[in-house]
Amino acid sequence: MVARLGYQRGMSHIESLFVTRLYRAALSEHGKPIDPAEMENSCLVIADDDEAGQDWCEANGYIGYTSYASLADLAWRFPIFKDLVKVLDKHVAEFAKDLQFDLGEKKLKLDSMWINILPEGGIHTSHIHPHSVISGTTYVAMPKGTSALKLEDPRLPMMMHAPLRLKKAAQELQSFVYVKPNVGEVLLWESWLRHEVPMNMAEDDRISVSFNYGWE
């Protein structure tokens, strides 16, 4: 069901246009359940074996580990990632229905997937995912005190000399929204939505698997 935001008071009418959607669900809502412990172990084993990824992180000053620039075949390497793709396909299809995309004869298809391991002090700076339609992350390890996902109003650069929002403004009016997902959940958003992961202040690793879907 698509929510309609707005209200009417007297002769005035105010409604929200060009709404930004965020999908949040437990992976287990669709498809074969994914064992969080097995997924965490798989991520750690891959990170330990991926010398090319380790070298890339060191060369680029990346605190922690990502397979983004080194591995494009996670689903082939470990069966659990193959299972994960099947589950994500179902979630993305559900989100696409909510977005009311006219896909025509094409489909939304996974075009990349990578592991993120952020130790204490690690950070993912603000970015978007060009050349994709839907992006997202599923959460493997979220220790107490670790950082939430920070989402940015895409209109922020166009607000010019506008005043700040009230601290207690409704969530849909905030310039930044923080979402703290749980282990085993998946978040989906349109790939143009700018986002970041602030510094991990927890002593333990924050582990996630991110991905992009294209229109093919």
147 within some domain = yes
Is the model's pLDDT at 7 over the cut of 70? Answer: no
13 within some domain = no
Q: Do the Cβ atoms of 140 and 41 come closer than 8 Å?
A: no
Give residue-wise pLDDT tens across range 142-180.
999 999 999 999 988 888 888 989 999 999 999 999 999
- Closest alpha carbon to 45 in 144, 115, 138: 115
Residue 2 pLDDT level (bands cut at 50, 70, 90): very low
CATH code (residue 147): 2.60.120.620
Residue 8 pLDDT level (bands cut at 50, 70, 90): low
What is the domain range of residue 144? 21-99+106-215
Q: Which helix (H) or strand (E) holds 95?
A: helix 79-99
Q: Which helix (H) or strand (E) holds 182?
A: none
pLDDT at 157: 81
Location of structure tokens 């090319």: 52
CA dist 199 and 83 (Å) reads: 30
CA dist 102 and 22 (Å) reads: 19
211 within some domain = yes
Q: Is 69 helix (H, G, I), strand (E, B) or coil?
A: coil
1 within some domain = no
123 within some domain = yes
In the chain, the number of structural domains is 1
Residue 49 has phi, psi (to 5 degrees) of -90, -20
CA-atom Rg of the chain in angstroms: 19
CA dist 81 and 188 (Å) reads: 18
11 within some domain = no
Q: What is the largest CA-CA distance in the chain?
A: 65
Give residue-wise pLDDT tens across range 49-105.
999 999 999 999 999 999 999 999 999 889 999 999 999 999 999 999 999 999 999
Average pLDDT over residues 190-197: 98
Give residue-wise pLDDT tens across range 102-118.
999 999 999 999 999 99
CA dist 49 and 36 (Å) reads: 20
